[in-house]
Amino acid sequence: MCVGETGMGKTTLIESLFNMKLDFEPCSHELKTVELRTRAYEVAEGGIRVKLRLVETAGFGDQLDKDQSARVIVDYLEAQFERYLQEELKVRRTLNYFDDSRIHACLYFISPTGHG
């Protein structure tokens, strides 16, 4: 997951890290709420395949009242962990076939607007 204001270079960084072109649509500064957009990819490097799920946080920090920007992200994270926990608590759990959608890393981009 990459979190930061629109135009910070989140998509560019991920494209550079994984040497691939992502199919995320550009975001405008006119979103009234934060939208989470998820895409799944399979990356192969040196014969090793890795499933990569990227979550784009469109509209994060673009509102005048930024208090609710993080709430959408926190709710999403909690829902993914709760989903995994419910599967793990089952008597006949099928974690081998379960689509694990938990977030394992989050890059937070800080806007460089300081006055030094």
Q: Would you state the pLDDT for residue 28?
A: 62
Centre a 10 Å sphere on the Cβ of residue 89 and count the other Cβ atoms it contains. Answer: 8
> pLDDT of 42-56, one tens digit each?
888 889 998 888 998
In terms of average pLDDT, the best of 11-25, 76-90, 91-105 is: 76-90
> pLDDT of 53-85, one tens digit each?
899 888 887 777 777 788 889 999 999 999 988
Is the residue at 69 inside a domain?
yes
The answer, yes or no, to whether residue 116 has pLDDT greater than 60, is: no
Q: How many structural domains does the chain have?
A: 1
What one-letter code names the amino acid at 46? G
Is the residue at 11 inside a domain?
yes
Chain centroid offset of residue 17 CA:
15
Is the residue at 27 inside a domain?
yes
CATH number at residue 46: 3.40.50.300
Is the residue at 116 inside a domain?
no
| pTM score | 0.78
Pairwise CA distance, residues 69 & 108, whole Å:
13
